[in-house]
Structure 1
Amino acid sequence: MKNDDTDFMIFPRLERAMRHGVSYRAMRCTDLGFLSRLYRSTREEEMSILPWGEDQKRHFIYMQFKAQHEHYQKHYPDALWMVVDVEKMPAGRLYIERWSRELRIIDIALLPDFRAKGIGSSILEDLKVEAMESGKKISIHVEKENPAMSLYLRLGFGIIEDKGIYNLLGWPHPS
């Protein structure tokens, strides 16, 4: 993780997303608490059905978040690690890596209060414009049961490969 060194970073375009008050900033070590809470919000439905106490859930989420964070940092060393701010308040995260022929969305997530308001769609539409302008495809791994799957499909992403609990989605989807 880069720490407060944004001089070399080229953030994704903000055209449609800016209409929702979206801005990006580089992730900092001080954001890890927020990012852990954001991660928990994406797993809340799963957690609600477990017969665990709150301490067990908190420990499990912490371990899962830490493992995911370390995996991303190790396997995507050249990624842009961004916090998505809405009206200057932390609202989500967007992790991308630009490859020669592809823009890989490593992760995109928003807090519940910012979901289903067009913010995620706008971010993805802006990334599609960047990909078109640079002649690249976009790809992202999405859990099959992720409620956002319908959003990706509606925006023209298609399933490229079944990866077990995940689908590798791509845009534009090969016909």
Structure 2
Amino acid sequence: MPLPLVEAAALGVALRPMCDADLAFTTALYASTRAQELAPVPWPEEAKQAFLAQQHAAQHAHYQQHYKGMDAAIVERGGTAIGRLYLYDMPGEVRIVDISLMPEARGLGLGGAMLRDVLAAAAGRSVTIHVEKNNPARTLYARLGFTILDDDRGAYHLWEWRAAP
């Protein structure tokens, strides 16, 4: 589902297809989403970075295996990569496989604008996303009308948004 940006485009956000050359960026992006979680761990910084790189590689392999054909996009603003948005089309459903932004791009309304663009483009289909139970973005998903569909998924909840009838 190539996503037409409207609201996010008005904020200077653009999407481009991800390529292998973006793996260094997505590794750094992944690490930025885990920095707070690893902060209290008494490992040397090099060990933390090696661990995060390994975790990113495992996540990337999982996405490639379980979401073949997903639309993997790099989020850019002003020509600079600031995040990623991975979408997967399924019958009757759009799965947000991943949406994440670098720390300097968080809290500016960009993620919310991209999510509203996803919801607008869903064309009557539901939109789902797995969200970690301690992810602060839960409040954003709730404001957008997502509800927890399945709360028995370990560290994650499966959230769902449905268009109004």
Instruction: Give TM-score, length-normalised by structure 1.
Output: 0.90
- Write out per-residue CA displacement over residues 109-161 of structure 1, whole angstroms, 9 at most, x where no aligned residue: 00011001010000000111111xx2200000000001111111111100000
Distance in 2 between residues matched to 1:173 and 1:12, nearest whole Å:
17
1:78 paired residue among 42, 50, 69: 69
Moved over 2 A (4+): none
Q: Paired residue for 2:60?
A: 69
DSSP-derived class of the 1:95 partner: strand
| One-letter amino acid matched to 1:166 | Y
DSSP-derived class of the 2:145 partner: coil
| Native 8 Å contact 2:125 2:162 kept in 1 | no
| Correspondence 1:171 to 2:134 | no
2:124 paired residue among 135, 144, 158: 135
| Residues 111-126 of structure 1 mapped to structure 2, 5 A cutoff | 111-126=102-117
Q: Paired residue for 1:60?
A: 51
Q: Paired residue for 1:157?
A: 146
Q: How much has 1:11 moved relative to structure 2?
A: 2.0
The CA RMSD over aligned residues, in Å, is 1.3
Q: Paired residue for 1:99?
A: 90
| Correspondence 1:46 to 2:46 | no
Q: Paired residue for 1:145?
A: 134
Unaligned stretches of 5+ in structure 2? none
Distance in 2 between residues matched to 1:173 and 1:161, nearest whole Å:
18
Identity over aligned pairs, percent: 42
| Residues 14-33 of structure 1 mapped to structure 2, 5 A cutoff | 14-33=5-24
Count of residue pairs the alignment pairs up: 163
Distance in 1 between residues matched to 2:62 and 2:75, nearest whole Å:
21
Distance in 2 between residues matched to 1:71 and 1:145, nearest whole Å:
22
DSSP-derived class of the 1:43 partner: helix
Instruction: Give TM-score, length-normalised by structure 2.
Output: 0.96
Q: How much has 1:31 moved relative to structure 2?
A: 0.5
Unaligned stretches of 5+ in structure 1? 1-9
Distance in 2 between residues matched to 1:44 and 1:147, nearest whole Å:
14
Distance in 1 between residues matched to 2:129 and 2:150, nearest whole Å:
11
